[in-house]
Amino acid sequence: MNLNEIKRYSRQLILPDFGTKEQGRLKRARVAVTGAGGLGCPISTYLTLAGVGEIHIIDFDRVELSNLNRQFLYTPGDAGRQKAEVAAKRLGEINPEIKVEAITEKITYDNAFELLKGYDAIVDGTDNFAVRYAVNDAAVVNRVPLFHGAALMYEGRAMSIIPRETACFRCVFPEPPPAGMIPTCREAGILGSVVGIVGAIQASEAIRYLAGLEIGLKNRLLIINADEMRFEKVRIARSSECTACGERFVPKPVEEVCAVAEEVEE
Amino acid sequence: MEVLDLRGEKCPDTFVYTKIKAEEMGYSGGGRLKVIVDYPPAVESIPRSLAEEGRGYKVLEVKHLGGRTYEIYIEVPAFEE
């Protein structure tokens, strides 16, 4: 650790259970953040601040003005630019001690397994079911720990997945919701501070895991309700019938059904 | 009748503009609103989203003008607040 690093990380180096060994583990870690949106901004920012050594931001999307109530890495002047590139540049400026790279590829079921290989962790900030299932299956098959999160309206969810040890996303949600449950436009609403809570929780879990510390969302689904600010932890378990982490892996791509997803093109 | 031409807009922006307009009308005494869209999923999602608002909006009629263009007629009540 150089002097800048010691100063920069001083307030976490003095934490109980945390020290130079843990900081060293963070520095050697290679992490993929899938999505540079409402979740991806807080996730990648906190990983950057904590000193995760190599962060890959994966997002094919471009900045729009309607992102700016929650995606704090962007300014109006960034509209039209690749999110991953803007985010990587900004994060690199925030912490020059680490490496942040942009991958502007769209994650699909076909490329996820190759794209998400060789990481120490994946922190998921994707906003639709097709990609979420692709990321889960790739993480399980590649045995990369996955920190899942989702937020909609005033609600959020998070869970931490250690492949073949704890329940994966598909153990809990084998299928996406039926087409009849397609959210209405209203349900596409989101408050920046709420999605920020979820992203910060995912980042905390990932950072503690990478540092070699215990984490709280293994085999647990955290359900956050910001209407009444209720946090609920539900016990979950692996399923032997899970097509991702059960006895036999079965590839199961999921179609995107949400008509309000911003990337939906006719 | 107020007219909101949302041709060229997609979800959820079609609802964003409809909601803003309807609230503006509701707070100033209510009235009738015609929304024109050319994004077919909005024909279903605007009425559904309006119903979920619980403001007493009434969709009076949906007219298909041919092609992808539809008109949605909405009765906006006067808001209490």
**DSSP states of B9-25 as a string?**
--TTHHHHHHHHHHHHH
Residue B16: list chain A partners with CB under 8 A.
185
Residue A245 lies in a domain: no
Question: B38 to chain A: which residues are within 8 Å by CB?
Answer: none
What per-residue confidence (pLDDT) applies to A258?
52
- The minimal CB distance from B15 to the residues A66, A185, A264 is found for A185
Of A61, A31, A67, nearest to A46 (Cα)? Answer: A31
Task: Give the Cβ contact number of residue A176 at 10 Å.
Answer: 17
Which tokens sit at B1?
């009748």
* CA of B49 vs chain A CAs: smallest distance (Å): 6
Predicted pLDDT of residue A263: 37
Looking at residue B81, its pLDDT comes to 66
CA distance to partner chain A, nearest, from residue B22 (Å): 14
Token digits of residue A165: 């040890």
pLDDT at B53: 93
Residue A215 lies in a domain: yes
Smallest CA–CA distance from B13 into chain A, residue: A185
In this predicted structure, what is the pLDDT of residue A211? 98
- Maximum Cα–Cα distance across chain A: 57
In a domain, A251, yes or no: no
**Catalytic residue positions of B?**
11
Residue among B52, B56, B50, B46 nearest B80 (CA): B56
DSSP A37-74: STTHHHHHHHHHHHT-SEEEEE---B--GGGTTT-TT-
CA pseudo-torsion sign A214, A241, A123, A143? positive
Residue B66 is predicted with a pLDDT of 94
- As a whole number of angstroms, the distance between CA B14 and CA A152 comes to 19
Adjacent-strand bridge partners of A23: none
Contact A185 B46 (CB under 8 A): yes
Cα dihedral A83, A86, A91, A97, rounded to 10, equals: 120
Tell me the Cα Rg of chain B.
12
The predicted pLDDT at position A180 comes to: 65
CB contact under 8 A, A66 and B53: no
What's the pLDDT at A257?
62
Cβ-based contacts of A189 with chain B (< 8 Å): 12
Q: Please report, in tens digits, the pLDDT of each residue of chain A (266 residues total).
A: 999 999 999 999 999 999 999 999 999 999 999 999 999 999 999 999 999 999 999 999 999 999 999 999 999 999 999 999 999 999 999 999 999 999 999 999 999 999 999 999 999 999 999 999 999 999 999 999 999 999 999 999 999 999 999 999 999 999 998 866 666 778 789 999 999 999 999 999 999 999 999 999 999 999 999 999 999 999 999 999 999 999 999 999 998 765 444 433 33
Tokens 């993480």 identify what position? A139
Question: Is residue A261 situated within a structural domain?
Answer: no
Number of domains in chain A: 1
Residue written as token pair 């999110």: A83
Q: In what order do the strands lie in the sheet with B58-66?
A: B2-5, B31-37, B69-76, B58-66
B12 touches chain A (CB under 8 A): yes
CB A259 to CB B48 under 8 A? Answer: no
pLDDT score of B1 more than 90: yes
A184 to chain B, any CB pair closer than 8 A? The answer is yes
For chain B, domain boundaries: 2-76
Spatial CA neighbour of A117 closest among A144, A148, A99: A144
Q: SS3 of A78, please?
A: helix
Decide if B16 and A259 are in contact by the 8 Å CB cutoff.
no
Into which CATH architecture does domain B2-76 fall?
2-Layer Sandwich (3.30)
CATH number, position A80: 3.40.50.720
Q: List chain B residues with CB under 8 Å of A69.
A: none
Question: Residue B57: its chain A contacts at CB < 8 A?
Answer: none
Distance from CA of B58 to the nearest CA of A (A): 17
Report whether B23 contacts B56 (CB < 8 A). Answer: no
Does residue A249 fall inside a structural domain? no
* B14: chain A residues, CB-CB within 8 Å: 185
Residue B43 Cα, gap to closest chain A Cα (Å): 11
What single letter denotes the amino acid at residue A114?
E
Element (H, E) at B33: strand B31-37
Q: Are A88 and A110 in contact (CB under 8 A)?
A: no
Report CB contact under 8 Å: A184, B53: no
A186, B15 contact by CB (below 8 A): yes
pLDDT for the residue numbered A182: 63
For residue A118, tell me if it sits in a domain: yes
B49 in contact with A, Cβ within 8 Å: yes
Q: Is residue A106 part of a domain?
A: yes
**Gap from B39 CA to chain A (nearest CA, Å):** 9
Side chain identity at residue A89, one-letter code = K
Does A185 touch chain B if contact means CB atoms closer than 8 Å?
yes
What is the rounded distance in angstroms from the CA atom of residue A60 to the CA atom of residue B63? 37
Domain that holds residue A157: 3-235
A185 to B14: CB separation less than 8 angstroms, yes or no: yes
Residue B59 has pLDDT above 90, yes or no: yes
Q: Can you tell me the distance from the alpha carbon of A95 to that of A92, in angstroms, rounded to the nearest whole number?
A: 5
* Residue A262 domain-assigned (yes or no): no
